[in-house]
Chains A and B, each alone.
Chain A
Amino acid sequence: MKPVLAVKDLSVTFRTEDGPLSAVDRVSFEVGDGEVLAVVGESGCGKSVTAMSIAGLLPRTATVNGSVELDGTELIGADKRTLRSIRGREVAYIFQEPMTSLNPVFTVGHQIIEVLRTHIGLNRQAAHARAVELLKLVGIPSAERRVGDYPHQLSGGMRQRVMIAMAVACDPKVLIADEPTTALDVTIQAGILDVLRGLRERLGTSIVLITHDLGVVADLADRVAVMYAGRVVETAEVHDLFAHPEHPYTVGLLGASPAAGRHAESQRLNEIPGLVPVLSEQPDACTFADRCTRAVDTCTSSQPQLTDGPHRVACWNPVRDRVEV
């Protein structure tokens, strides 16, 4: 099956006062129709930059190379008009902080209606009815009344629901959700994850879910891409990744969060000493080498490439001591 979104060898470098900063290095992944791909990794690993480059939301200081194809249309280097027709319509975004992307002086209904009028050309009445429908879709109670609320009258969870309603207003092929629940309580998060699950099931929306919360990944993802220092270091189907992580960084991440029912007396958490490096250029080496307990000589002299197949890993000495049951 042809993927809806195909990212190939995507690289992003920023010009900064301290010289160039390489944020993303030859990242490749694909997202199938109705598939949820989770992108995980620590802060600064390049998750948001990858997401923003998908529809040209990066600042002018960024140089982008490589290819991003949405349903066969190349987005990197595309003209403004193509991008404008795609952004918000074919690809939509939701961010961690809904308040920063909602306009405080307009009602939420007004904002959804604007999206519908500009992108789909609905008339005011039809757009209003559709806005109410969308608010219902994302689980906002008394949607007919809430459509007239201003953003500050809503709780954080409801604002995020409104953001999702706006994002899916034009029935996008791909929804990019960058840490959509990080700012929310678990009780509220559960509701938002449920809405995302519903979108995928009812509308068949493909979702790129960026998160650092492995519980959220376990809940929603079909496949996972693990990023480290601007590179994808491992991708696999979700059950396979949790059961058989192969990259030492993935193994480290999985061991770092406490397991259910475990107290400090019986389990020590896995620490990954050191920090994610900030790179001005990408070395021909594994960038995890100075933190890796499995490093071998090759690791510092040659960059490991992603293997082929359903479970791909970029490592010279991957963890393969599987215990089959």
Chain B
Amino acid sequence: MVDNALEVEDLVMHFGPVRAVDGVTLRIRQGTVVALVGESGSGKSTVGRCIVRLLEPTGGTVRLAGADITHLSRRRLRPHRRDVSIVFQDPAGSLDPRLSVGDIVGEPLRLMRRKDISTKVSESLQRVGLRPEVAQRAPHELSGGQRQRVSIARALISEPRLLVADEPTSALDVSVQAAVLNLLADLQRDLGFACLFITHDLSAVEYLADEVAVMYLGQLVEQGPRARIFGHPAHPYTQALLSAAPVPDPAEQRARRPVLLGDDLPSAIDPPPGCRFHTRCPVAVDTCRTVVPERRTIGEGGHQVACHLVKDDGTGPDVRPTEGVAQ
């Protein structure tokens, strides 16, 4: 068996002049969860769409369980379709309103016998905590949380090796988010699929992910095991991102000082030369404005970072103001 459910090598996706993804290299081992985080417009969804081949990449390669699917035609892609599924953010928009829940969930199996499909649909609905009778209903009769369960049931019915979950909880209320996160954690543990978990929500990342990859303007700036990234973020952007997310604890939150980066995310049409983060980086030096920082491994567990100021032993700048300063 191949070790990696997914191998993405130097992935490039340009939309005309928009350099949405510009050289992303990422591996997901079988049965592990990798979270992809970064600001809006940094290219996370585009990476996800290339992996499930809703988009054909401009460059680089995408290998699913060892098989190169980067440029396969629709027909030749078919045998690989069952290896990977995607769940989208908007549970309403991603389900066809003219179909019943049963048809939606069973769609990936449409080549099987009807009777077998309906057994599988019942199983899949039950697995996500819905009653099998829901199969007869229309998606608009369900709540947001139930609809997201339906998308997950559909995504998992073909027993994929890899699930791409693109902001699966962002459109949901906190209490419903909790149910969907619990469900994903349970299913992932029981079924053992690998998962690319795209999200804005850093607390959800800590909850679900084994590894974290941080994206900025079409490129990965840092990646590594969850505990390393949260405990010792090396890249100034990662540090800023982590410091900006407020924690739901007044005493702790008030002792924190976020790094303020300014609102101006540069355009993906004309990304800054050198390090793309240099226009907002509080510790940028001259080299940063002209020389592209190489990606280097800085510690155990494959912790990698692309920043000129981070040394090989992982030490380097910390842009976060000292925490816990008396008020």
Interface membership of A161, Cβ < 8 A? yes
Interface membership of A285, Cβ < 8 A? no
Please give, as numbers and ranges, the residues of chain B lying within 8 Å of A189 by CB-CB distance.
Answer: 244, 246
Please give, as numbers and ranges, the residues of chain B lying within 8 Å of A268 by CB-CB distance.
Answer: 182
Interface membership of A238, Cβ < 8 A? yes
Interface membership of A79, Cβ < 8 A? no
Task: Report B228-256 CB contacts with A as 1/0, cut-off 8 Å.
Answer: 00100000000011011111111111100
**Assembly CA distance A147 to B39 (angstroms):** 26
Interface membership of A309, Cβ < 8 A? no
Q: Are B206 and A253 in contact (CB-based, < 8 A)?
A: no
**Assembly CA distance A42 to B145 (angstroms):** 13
Q: Are A271 and B179 in contact (CB-based, < 8 A)?
A: yes
* Stretch from A4-12, A18-26, A101-109, A213-221 at the B interface: A213-221
Please give, as numbers and ranges, the residues of chain B lying within 8 Å of A259 by CB-CB distance.
Answer: 203, 248
Most chain-A CB neighbours within 10 Å: which of B181, B241, B248? B248
Interface membership of A294, Cβ < 8 A? no
* Stretch from A49-57, A62-70, A180-188 at the B interface: A180-188
Q: Are A190 and B244 in contact (CB-based, < 8 A)?
A: yes
* From B185, B207, B249, B263, contact of A188 by CB (8 A): B263
Q: List 18 A-B contacts (CB under 8 A).
A: A156-B40, A186-B241, A187-B261, A189-B244, A189-B246, A191-B261, A191-B263, A213-B246, A216-B246, A217-B248, A218-B247, A218-B254, A219-B254, A258-B207, A263-B207, A269-B178, A269-B179, A270-B178
Q: Are A194 and B260 in contact (CB-based, < 8 A)?
A: yes
Sort chain A's interface into a size bin: 35 or more
Interchain Cβ contacts within 8 Å, total number: 135
Please provide the chain B residues from 178 to 216 with a CB less than 8 Å away from any CB of chain A in the complex: 178-179, 181-182, 185, 189, 200, 202-204, 206-208
Q: Are B200 and A215 in contact (CB-based, < 8 A)?
A: no
Interface membership of A261, Cβ < 8 A? yes
**Assembly CA distance A161 to B259 (angstroms):** 18
Nearest CB in chain A to that of B265: its residue = A155
Interface membership of A150, Cβ < 8 A? no
Task: Report B256-275 CB contacts with A as 1/0, cut-off 8 Å.
Answer: 00111111110000000000
**Assembly CA distance A157 to B174 (angstroms):** 23
Q: Are B250 and A239 in contact (CB-based, < 8 A)?
A: yes
Q: Are B203 and A257 in contact (CB-based, < 8 A)?
A: yes
Please give, as numbers and ranges, the residues of chain B lying within 8 Å of A272 by CB-CB distance.
Answer: 175, 178
Interface membership of A325, Cβ < 8 A? no
Please give, as numbers and ranges, the residues of chain B lying within 8 Å of A217 by CB-CB distance.
Answer: 248, 250
Interface membership of A323, Cβ < 8 A? no
**Assembly CA distance A259 to B253 (angstroms):** 12
Please give, as numbers and ranges, the residues of chain B lying within 8 Å of A188 by CB-CB distance.
Answer: 39, 263
Nearest CB in chain B to that of A157: its residue = B263
* Chain A min CB distance to B255 (Å): 11
**Assembly CA distance A273 to B185 (angstroms):** 18
**Assembly CA distance A256 to B179 (angstroms):** 8
**Assembly CA distance A156 to B178 (angstroms):** 28
Known: A185-B200, A186-B241. Contact between A275 and B248, CB under 8 A?
A: no
Given contacts A161-B263, A270-B175, 14 further A-B contacts (CB under 8 A): A43-B173, A158-B264, A185-B200, A190-B260, A212-B173, A212-B174, A218-B246, A218-B248, A238-B250, A256-B177, A260-B206, A263-B208, A264-B208, A273-B179
